[in-house]
Amino acid sequence: MRVGAPSRRAAVIGLLSALAIATNYAMIGIPNVKLMDSIVFLAGLSLGFADGAAVATLTWIVYGFLNPYGFVPTIWLATTLGEWLFALAGSLSRTLPGERKPPVMAALGYATTLAYDLVTNAAFAVTFGLPIWAALVAGIPFALLHELTNAAAFSLLVPRAEAAVLALLGPGARGGRIRADRL
Amino acid sequence: MEKWAAVSVLLLIWAVSASMLAVYYRSELSALNQRLSASAGGEGEYVTVNLGIGVQGGDVTWYNGTRVKKGSTLLDVTAQVADVNYTVYPGMGAFVQSINGVANSDPYYWMWWTWTDWGGWQEGPVAADRYVVADGETLFWYFEDASQSPLPTPP
């Protein structure tokens, strides 16, 4: 289901992409701790999968190409497609009944990040000719940090941010999904 | 109800995280045991390694037959033969900043390599202070353009 006028949706896609890019650079010194995943999830949740994937792709086009850690095409492709998982999870979460409960958001954040880490660490192993199992095990400390911080970010930020994004999209976006008193 | 949901999610996250950590530390222990077994050769309390230090397109110096105590790391060996400066990042290990006055300067960094029978030079898999050297091993510090992919191997 698409929500909001096209111009407003385009504006929100740009806004969320800019927010993801800016926070990525602001937090570049803290490996594996980023707000980008929550923002892409939020985009999928409030706008749908296609728009969420657009936010993910736009963010990775900028952040992937202009990255002080370097650019490797296969890693970039894996992280971009992996980021779509957050848009997909957000989109699928729209069918969840009731309000956004923090525990549910935390579980979604943790599980989706786990899937993302598996995909991207496997892609890293294939790219550099490492055994996949060894790469997955070696990446566990970094993956755990990523998963735990995303679980916290999803539970604390997403419910409030969704209400704000739907308010930006206008009255048509509410559609009974979000109660007016939450806006 | 929401309390139970929160507790359940926390327990689930804890269970998965703890299992992952258990796998990780089991793997680390296994790798360390392998390295210690490999260093069990040598004479008495010591092992002998060959260490090269070189700059891409420049000079290479070899410190062959360097004797160090069993259980020494590559960083220990390097500090024994050269002037080395490094920064320790908790959880990740020592990041070498300079060797013999040659300091990292983007895109040139100190990378370390180990010689293998099966595939020639292989890039070091962990930080130098986390790699226990084995008897008879050949290692190399290479000051190279780290922006290249794949990385240039030592000469």
The runs of H, that is alpha helices, within chain B are: 2-38, 74-81
Contact of A167 with chain B, judged by CB distance below 8 Å, is answered with no
Cβ contacts of A143 on chain B, cutoff 8 Å: 20
| pLDDT of the residue at B51 | 96
Give me the pLDDT at residue B117, please.
Answer: 82
| B90 burial type by CB count under 10 A (0-12 exposed, 13-18 middle, 19+ buried) | exposed
Contact B21/A at CB under 8 A: yes
Q: Determine contact, residues B141/B51, Cβ cutoff 8 Å.
A: yes
119-148 in B: which are within 8 Å (CB) of A?
125, 146-147
In angstroms, the CA A60 to CA A57 distance is 5
Residues of A with CB below 8 A from B147's CB?
70
The distance of B116 to chain A (nearest Cα, Å) reads 15
What whole-number distance in Å separates Cα of residue B24 and Cα of residue A167? 44
Provide CB contacts within 8 A for B62, sequence distance 6+. Answer: B50, B51, B52
Record: contact B13-A151, CB cut-off 8 A: yes
CA distance A78 to B125: 22
Residue numbers of chain A with a pLDDT score lower than 50? 174-183
List, in sequence order, every residue forming a beta bridge with B19; answer none if it has no partner. none
Q: From CA A120, how far away is CA A183, in angstroms rounded?
A: 36
**For chain B, where are the E strands, in sequence order?**
46-55, 60-69, 84-89, 93-99, 102-103, 108-116, 120-123, 138-145
CA distance B92 to chain A (A): 10
- A141 contacts B24? CB cut-off 8 A: yes
**Residue B114 — pLDDT band, cuts 50, 70, 90?**
very high
CB contacts of B127 in chain A (<8 Å) are: none
Token duo for residue A182: 């939450």
Distance CA B87, CA A58 (A): 35
Of B5, B16, B125, the CB nearest to A103: B5
Band the pLDDT of B60: cuts 50, 70, 90. very high
State percent of chain B over pLDDT 70. Answer: 93
CA distances from A13 to A65, A109, A169, B24 (A): 20, 21, 11, 38
Query: Are the C-beta atoms of residues B63 and B53 closer than 8 Å to each other?
Result: yes
- Flag if B5 and A101 touch (Cβ within 8 Å): yes
Judged by a CB distance cut-off of 8 A, whether residue A97 touches chain B is no
Distant-in-sequence contacts of B67-72, Cβ < 8 A, 24+ apart: B68/B133, B69/B45, B70/B36, B70/B39, B70/B40, B70/B42, B70/B45, B70/B46, B71/B36, B71/B39, B71/B132, B72/B47, B72/B132, B72/B133
pLDDT in tens, B31-43: 778 777 766 665 6
**What's the pLDDT at A7?**
84
* CB environment B55-66: b (16+ within 10 A), e (fewer): bbeeeeeebeeb
Q: Does the beta-carbon distance from A138 to B13 stay under 8 Å?
A: no
Interface contact flag, B12 A70, Cβ < 8 Å:
no
What's the full length of chain B, in residues?
155
End-to-end, the C-alpha distance of chain A in Å comes to: 20
pTM of the model: 0.70
Specify the pLDDT at position A175. 43
**What mean pLDDT is predicted for residues B62-91?**
92
- Report phi then psi at A24, rounded to 5: -60, -45
* Candidate from A70, A107, A143 with C-beta closest to B12: A107
CB A91 within 8 A of CB A52: yes
Q: Quick one: pLDDT at residue A180?
A: 35
pLDDT at A99: 73
* Residue numbers in B near A114 (CB within 8 A): 16
Residue B1 at interface with chain A, using a CB cutoff of 8 Å: no
CB contact under 8 A, A140 and B8: no
Name the band, by pLDDT with cuts 50, 70 and 90, for residue B66. Answer: very high
> What is the C-alpha separation between A4 and A166, in angstroms, rounded?
8
AA identity, residue B35? R
B 50-79 residues inside an 8 A Cβ radius of A: none
